[in-house]
């Protein structure tokens, strides 16, 4: 039977004790899709969109990486993790920007939240930098695509 892991015996919020867990290689990849629409995509030049604030996708990659490294500051019960790697890629498909965040570490707990935060903040940065062109931007389908390490692996089809 599954139960919520971040509750103590009294039903109060608690950080999960990972002290007895084995250190293993942990990876996670998350994805967020940002629908920008034709008004914004017409500004795509090569692999990025240039704005007065700077290159949109390059800035989003930096912001997402910084956020992934600070996940424990944003989500109260997440463990502090030293990430071995964080790679964010942004591709386009029609009017969509597809943000992918791949994170890895050697540790006692997974990096799913770090990957999700990295993809989310990169998507929010794209929104912030493009809103001057249009507010008709939709951030959708932020989801975990895969994780390895720990009790079980997960792969989304």
State yes or no: is 128 an active-site residue: yes
Which of 69, 52, 56, 59 lies closest to 118 in space, CA to CA? 69
In 3-128, where do the E strands start and end? 24-35, 44-45, 48-51, 54-55, 85-93, 96-107
Write the CB contacts of 20 (distance below 8 Å, at least 6 apart in sequence).
none
Which of 75, 115, 84 lies closest to 99 in space, CA to CA? 115
Q: What is the DSSP letter of 145?
A: E
Of residues 72, 84, 95, 128, which has the active-site annotation? 128
Q: Phi and psi at residue 147, in whole multiples of 5°? A: -150, 150
Residues serving a catalytic function are 128
């Amino acid at each position: 039977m599954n139960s919520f892991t971040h509750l103590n015996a009294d039903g109060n919020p608690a950080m999960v004790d990972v002290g007895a867990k084995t250190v293993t290689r942990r990876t996670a990849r998350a994805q967020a899709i940002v629908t920008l629409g034709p008004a914004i995509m017409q500004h795509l030049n090569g692999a990025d969109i240039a704005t007065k604030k700077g290159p949109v996708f390059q800035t989003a990659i930096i912001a997402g990486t910084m956020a992934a490294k600070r996940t424990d500051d944003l989500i109260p019960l997440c463990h502090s993790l030293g990430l071995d790697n964080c790679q964010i890629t942004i591709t386009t498909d029609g009017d969509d920007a597809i943000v992918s965040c791949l994170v890895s570490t050697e540790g006692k707990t997974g990096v799913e939240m770090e990957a999700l935060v990295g993809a989310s903040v990169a998507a929010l940065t794209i929104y912030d930098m493009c809103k001057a062109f249009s507010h008709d931007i939709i951030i959708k389908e932020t989801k975990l695509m895969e994780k390895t390490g720990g009790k079980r692996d997960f792969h989304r089809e």
